[in-house]
């Protein structure tokens, strides 16, 4: 059996750190949404029971360190299926970029093998399994737009934001999510930035979304990596409606409402940063 699926990237419209948890993780409240930049995963079943992951980029691990491999192994071990699978991943999402590329690959493996191996698991069951692999996997299983709480594994689906263009720019560095979280101080505030974004999404208010983009991790990453700060500054100067770092970084995204702005922003960044993408938000109607 063969099939092919896309694994979309995500951006954080809001990432609020609420508290430090006893397990060492942080309690968070995030609003995440998918964008039209995606890896492609090709699946072919194997009769020998082996799991084989092949990457288009040779520097990415293809063994148990790979989240896609972990997802396949998790299902195979839990449900004792005798079938194997060959998974080829064409990487389009930058690695270690704050765009959940690895988590999206893992979520896509869970969804695909659920069908291929006839496991009949619900999306909620797949998301629960995915959360044991990585904090963003549960969101990526559901996809679309959602509020994530806990350490990111509790998902509440939201409507799609108003359509717009998204300019992504990633400097040639990787950022360790664990390192960034280890240096964050839990903010003391009486309001919820994520709730502001959630309300704006329900109101379909693009300007309000732009005005309330928020990421508690941004201050830490910008202090450690000046190139991320420079990219955000350049993006704002080039005319985006709003800009924010996604996840723990280092990718910065800018929102642009009108198509005639896209080329100006894209070209301004291309001369400044190698990895630049002009994409759309994914919505339920796409």
Binding residues for ATP: 94-104
Residue 154: what are its φ and ψ, rounded to 5°?
A: -95, 115
Q: Which residues are annotated as a binding site?
A: 94-104
E strand or H helix that includes residue 18? strand 2-20
CB-based contacts of 43: which residues, under 8 Å, 6+ apart? Answer: 1, 2, 3, 4, 5, 85, 86, 87, 112, 113, 116
User: CA–CA separation, 254 vs 75, rounded Å?
Assistant: 37
Our answer to whether residue 136 is catalytic in this structure is: yes
E strand or H helix that includes residue 89? strand 84-90
Residue 151: what are its φ and ψ, rounded to 5°?
A: -95, 15
Our answer to whether residue 233 is catalytic in this structure is: no
Residue 47: what are its φ and ψ, rounded to 5°?
A: -85, -15
Catalytic hit among 16, 39, 136, 216: 136
DSSP label of 186: P
User: CA–CA separation, 40 vs 91, rounded Å?
Assistant: 7
Catalytic hit among 10, 76, 147, 170: 10
CB 264 within 8 A of CB 148: no
Active site residues: 10, 136
């Amino acid at each position: 059996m063969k099939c092919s699926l896309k694994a979309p990237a995500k951006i954080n419209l809001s990432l609020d750190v609420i508290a430090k948890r006893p397990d060492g993780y942080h309690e968070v409240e995030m609003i995440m949404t998918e964008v039209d930049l995606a890896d492609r995963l090709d699946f072919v079943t194997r009769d020998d029971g082996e799991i084989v992951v092949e990457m288009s980029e040779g520097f990415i691990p293809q063994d148990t360190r790979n989240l896609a491999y972990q997802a396949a192994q998790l299902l195979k071990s839990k449900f004792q299926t005798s079938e194997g699978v060959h998974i080829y991943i064409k990487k389009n999402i930058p690695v270690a970029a704050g765009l959940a590329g690895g988590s999206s690959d893992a979520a896509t493996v869970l969804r695909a093998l659920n069908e291929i191996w006839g496991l009949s698991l619900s999306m909620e069951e797949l998301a629960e399994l995915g959360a044991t692999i990585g904090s963003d996997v549960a969101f990526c299983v559901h996809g679309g737009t959602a509020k994530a709480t806990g350490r990111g594994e509790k998902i509440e689906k939201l409507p799609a934001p108003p359509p717009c263009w998204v300019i992504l720019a990633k400097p040639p560095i990787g950022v360790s999510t664990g390192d960034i979280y280890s240096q964050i101080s839990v903010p003391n505030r009486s309001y919820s930035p994520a709730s502001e974004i959630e309300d704006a999404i329900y109101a379909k208010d693009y300007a309000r979304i732009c005005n309330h983009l928020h990421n508690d991790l941004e201050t830490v990453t910008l202090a450690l990596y000046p190139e991320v700060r420079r990219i955000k500054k350049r993006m704002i100067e080039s005319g985006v409606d709003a800009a924010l770092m996604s996840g723990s970084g280092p990718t910065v995204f800018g929102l642009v409402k009108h198509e005639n702005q896209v080329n100006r922003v894209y070209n301004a960044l291309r001369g400044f940063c190698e990895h630049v993408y002009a994409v759309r938000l994914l919505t339920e109607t796409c």
